[in-house]
Structure 1
Amino acid sequence: MEQQLEDLYRFPNIINTLQVIGCHFGLKPPGWHYPRHHHHLFELLYCVEGEVAHEINRDRVTMQAGDWLLIKSGVRHQSSNTTQADYGFFNVHFDLDDPEIRSLLSQAPYRLIRHKEAEQSKLRFYVGELEGVMQRNHTDAEPSSLRFEDKLLLQSYTLLIIHVVLQLFREHGSSRGQGTAAEKDPSLFTADIAHMIEEKLALGLCEEATVAGIAKEMNLSRSQCSKLFSKVYGLSPRQYVSQQKLKLAKELLVTTHLPMTDIAEKLGFHSASHFSRQFRRWTGQSPSEFKPRHHSTN
C-alpha cells in the first residue's frame, strides 16, 4: 500500500529585494582622504590591510587589518589614511527591504567588529570567494556585463556576509567597538511605538493609511511619528509603505493570475496605468515585463 507523502517543512514566501551598490576592492595611498559625506544605503567596510581613521558623527574610529565596520544609512562620516602604508579595503553599499533586518541594522549609527571576533567567523572566506568572482570578471567593461551566474554569486556572498555580521552583533552585543558617543539601542518605549506604527501602516497598506492619520490616532505629532519610526526601522514611514507595496506587487504578479486592474486596486492605486508607472519607477520594468511567462507544452 502506498503511503501519501506530506510536506515536512514549508518555508514562507520570500520576495525581498537586495540592492547592492559600489561593491569593490580598493587600495589607497598614505595621505588619502575622503571628505565628510553620507549615503542613502548601509555601508559595510572591511580593512584588508593597513589602517584607516573614520570620523563618524563626533566619534573617531580607527580600523586595522581584519576589522569590519557597518555605517547606518544617513550617518555623516569621513575617512583618512594617516599612516605611511597603503590602506586596502573591501566596501559595499547595500539595502534590504525586510523591516526586521533593517531594524537590526539600524540600531546604532555604526557598529565595529574587531579582527579577533571576525576571525572566528566565515567572513574572510566569503570575502575571498566574492573577490574571486570579481577577479574572473575583471575587465574594462561595466559591472553590468557580469554573467548571470556571477551576479547570483555576488548577491549570495553579500547576503552571507550580512548574515554573519548580524550574528556577530547579536553574540557580542553593543558594548564592543561602539565608540563613546554612539547611540544605544532604541528604548523599549520607542521600539513599541515604532512597532505599533508599522502594524497600522501594514494593515492600512491598501487603504492609503496616512502618517498624519496614524499620528493623530496615537496622540503624536507627524514629525514625532516619523522620527520614532525612522529611528527603529532606518527608513521613513513613506519609504516603508513603498517597499511593502513593491513586495506585495511582486508577490501578486508572481503567484497569481489577477489582471492588472485588480492588482492595482488591491494596492490602493487609482488605476492600472498609475500602478504600472509606479512599478516601473520602482524596478525599471513594467508589471507585464516582470510577470513570469508560462509556456504551455504539448
Structure 2
Amino acid sequence: MMQSFISIPTIESGLYMFGGHKHTVNGSWSFFEQRHQVFELMVIINGHQVIEIRDHEPLNLGPGDAIIIAPGTYHTNRNASSTAKMTYMCLHFDFEDTQIRSRMIGLLVNKRYAAETPLAKLSYQMLDEIIDLSRNREHQNEFDTQVNIEIVLLKYLRDLNRLMGDVDYKYGGMPYTNKEAKIGRDIVMAIENRVNNDDRNPSFNFSDICKELAISNGYGHRVFKKVYGITPLHFIDKEKYKKAQRLLEYYGNSIEEIAYMTGAANMSIFSKQFKKWSGYSPSEYRKQVIRKRSVHSKNKVGYFE
C-alpha cells in the first residue's frame, strides 16, 4: 500500500508593522507632509479628518471611515475642525508577498471607504483588536502579545485578499496592464534569483537586471514602481537585508564573508547599511539572535526606509 505524502509550503511572511496608535487630537491639529515605503491604514473613530494626497482631491473621512495609503504616497493629515477634537487609529505595515502587495496597490489604496463598507468594518475591527492587545505597556514586548498581534494582522491581510477578489470581479481592471504586471513579476524573480543564487556577482545593480530582461532602465523602474509601489532599488536592498539576516543567524560564514555575499564593497559599508536597516550592527544582531533563541525561536525582523 502506497503511503500518501503531503508537503508543507515554504512560508516567509516578513510581516512588519510600526507607528501604530490610537490618538485623540485637538481642533486645528495637522501632521506635516510625509511618505513611507509601507502601507498606512487609518480609521476614524470620532470627528472628521482631511487627508490630502498629492495630485488628488482632498478626502474627508468621518466616523468609521477608513483609508489605506499606498507606499511612497506623499500625504498630509489634519483635523477638519478648528475646534472639535478628533480620534483616529492608524498602523503602518508591510509584508513579503509581492503579488498581494501589487493587487492592493492596484485595487484598494488612496480611496475613502465609508463606515458601512466591508473594508472599513474589517479595518476598524482589526485596529481595535490590536489596540486592545497593546493596552498593557508592561506586556507589549512579550512574545505571546506580539504573536497575537501578528495573528490579527495576518487574518486582516487574508480577508483583504478575499475582498480584492470581489472588487476585481465587480469593477475589473488594474491601473497597469497584464504586460506590465508580467514585467514586474519578471523583475522580482530576477532580483530574487540574483540575490539568493548568484554568488559570482553579488554587487549587481538594477541595470544588470534590465539588461537580463532586455528592457531599458527607465521603463523597468517605471513599471516596477507602478506595480509594486516601491522602487527597484528599495526592493533589492530589502532582499539583500533578508539574506544578510539569514546568514547572520547561523555561524557558517564570518561577517566579512556575509558582507561580500550581499554585495557590499567592504565591511564598513556593510556594517553601516545593516545598522540602518535593523538598528543593530551585524555582530550585535548575531548576539540578539543567540539571546532570543535561548528563550524562543521567533526571529527579529528589521526594516529600513
TM-score bucket of the superposed structures, by smaller chain = 0.7 to 0.9
Structure 1: segments with no counterpart, 5+ residues: 139-143, 177-182
Pairing partner for 2:67 from 58, 66, 69: 69
TM-score normalised by structure 1 residue count: 0.75
* 2:113/2:119 contact within 8 Å kept: no
Matched, 1:133 2:107: no
Distance 1:120 1:61, change over 3 A: closer
Alignment of 1:108-147 (within 5 A): 110-118=110-118, 122-137=122-137, 146-147=141-142
Pairing partner for 2:22 from 10, 20, 25: 25
Q: Number of aligned pairs?
A: 280
* Counterpart in the other structure of 2:230: 235
* Counterpart in the other structure of 2:182: 192
* Counterpart in the other structure of 2:216: 221
* Counterpart in the other structure of 2:279: 284
TM superposition shift of 1:197:
2.1
Q: Deviations over 1:114-166 (max 9, x none)?
A: 3222379654443332222222228xxxxx97434323333333333344334
Q: Identity percentage over the alignment?
A: 21
Q: Aligned-residue CA RMSD in angstroms?
A: 3.7
Alignment of 1:203-214 (within 5 A): 203-205=193-195, 206=198, 207=201, 208-214=203-209
> Which stretch of structure 1 is more off in the superposition, 35-44 or 46-55?
35-44
* Counterpart in the other structure of 1:180: none
* 2:90/2:127 contact within 8 Å kept: no
> Which stretch of structure 1 is more off in the superposition, 102-111 or 272-281?
272-281
From the CA coordinates, give the structure whose radius of gyration is larger: 1
TM superposition shift of 1:46:
0.9
CA distance in 2, matches of 1:120, 1:225: 34
Alignment of 1:23-172 (within 5 A): 23-57=20-54, 58-83=56-81, 85-107=84-106, 110-118=110-118, 122-137=122-137, 146-172=141-167
Which residue type is aligned with residue 226 of structure 1? H
- Name the SS for the 1:106 alignment partner: helix
Q: Deviations over 1:64-88 (max 9, x none)?
A: 2222200012212223333464322
CA distance in 2, matches of 1:128, 1:87: 16
> Which stretch of structure 1 is more off in the superposition, 265-274 or 228-237?
265-274
TM superposition shift of 1:187:
1.6
- Name the SS for the 1:226 alignment partner: helix
- Name the SS for the 1:112 alignment partner: coil
TM superposition shift of 1:228:
1.5
Structure 2: segments with no counterpart, 5+ residues: 295-305
Distance 1:272 1:8, change over 3 A: farther
TM-score normalised by structure 2 residue count: 0.74
Which residue type is aligned with residue 103 of structure 1? S
> Which stretch of structure 1 is more off in the superposition, 268-277 or 145-154?
268-277
Which residue type is aligned with residue 127 of structure 2? V
CA distance in 2, matches of 1:170, 1:217: 33
Distance 1:210 1:27, change over 3 A: same
CA distance in 2, matches of 1:201, 1:119: 33
* 1:253/1:290 contact within 8 Å kept: no
